[in-house]
Amino acid sequence: MKSAVIVFPGSNCDRDAHDAIEHVTGQKPAMVWHQESELPEGTQFVMVPGGFSYGDYLRCGSMASRSAIMPAIVAHAATGAPVLGVCNGFQILTESGLLPGALMRNAGLKFVCEKAPLTVENANTQFTSRYEAGARLLVPIAHHDGNYFADPETLDRIEGEGQVVFRYGKNPNGSARDIAGITNEQGNVMGMMPHPERAVDAGHGGTDGLALFESLLGSA
């Protein structure tokens, strides 16, 4: 599967994303600068990485979500192709309207950087098919604005539709209903605050994120 990683000014997990994708597929993803207006020919999987695009000015992800490449990503998602946003990428996908809700300042007001216990709530997605439903994972989080918010009706709807894919074992940021990751209604766009791309190499402290990339891209 041909992959692309989007790079914004202030992205800092773009190379981790690159390495995780290469590790699983053996192929280097295209690194696409945010000022491009098209994805490379034949792109299937798009990853919007973590970081602090535009210094988190105005609202996290707000400026990045209005950059030149975004209409191409929105159009790509509309074809049913997989799009994954991690951390700042999750914020960018909610700001762009590809995912419901918003990510607000952590309830404890502090930046949290730790390994977060997660539960796989829905293993029946193209991002999680290699996990067991209910599996417990340990995946790094590192964010100041990961407090997932949506109105109660939206929360009920996404819970009912199986769009809540990951939940925190211990809520680190005040997220509604302990939500750590969600998909859109069609299931082809996923956003999550934890960093699976930082959990693909035992030398870096764990491999619980590996199955996510294997689910999506097939194992090497």
DSSP 13-70: SHHHHHHHHHHHHSSPPEEEETT-SSPPTT--EEEE--B-GGGG-SSTTTTGGGSTTH
Dist CA 159 CA 115 (whole Å): 25
Beta carbon of residue 54, minimum distance to another protein (angstroms, whole number): 12
CA separation for the pair 58, 81 (Å, rounded) = 30
Q: Is 107 in the site for another protein (CB under 8 A)?
A: yes
- If the CB atoms of residues 96 and 125 are measured against another protein, the closer one turns out to be 96
Smallest separation (angstroms) from another protein to the CB of 132: 33
Selected binder of another protein within 9, 10, 162, 174 (CB under 8 A): 174
- Strand, helix or coil for residue 204: helix
CB of 135 to another protein, least distance (A): 30
Footprint of another protein on 13-72 (CB under 8 A): 58-59, 62-63, 66
- Strands 112-120 vs 45-48: parallel, antiparallel or unpaired: unpaired
Choices 7-15, 106-114, 158-166, 200-208; region in contact with another protein by CB under 8 A? 106-114
In the beta sheet, which residues pair with residue 147? 104
- One of 21, 93, 104, 210 touching another protein (CB under 8 A): 104
Shorter beta-carbon distance to another protein: residue 34 or 198: 34
Residue 128 touching another protein (CB under 8 A)? no
Judged by beta carbon, residue 108 or residue 205, the one nearer another protein is 108
> What secondary structure letter does DSSP report for 218?
-
Which listed range, 16-24, 99-107, 111-119, 195-203, lies at the site for another protein (CB under 8 A)? 99-107
Surface-to-core class of residue 113, CB atoms within 10 Å of its CB (0-12 exposed, 13-18 middle, 19+ buried): exposed
CA distance 25 to 38: 23
Contact status: 95 vs another protein (CB under 8 A) = yes
Query: Which residues are tagged catalytic?
Result: 87, 195, 197
Decide if residue 96 touches another protein (CB under 8 A): no
Which tokens sit at 40?
């490379």
Interacting residue ranges for another protein, rule: CB under 8 A: 58-59, 62-63, 66, 94-95, 100-102, 104-109, 147, 149-151, 174
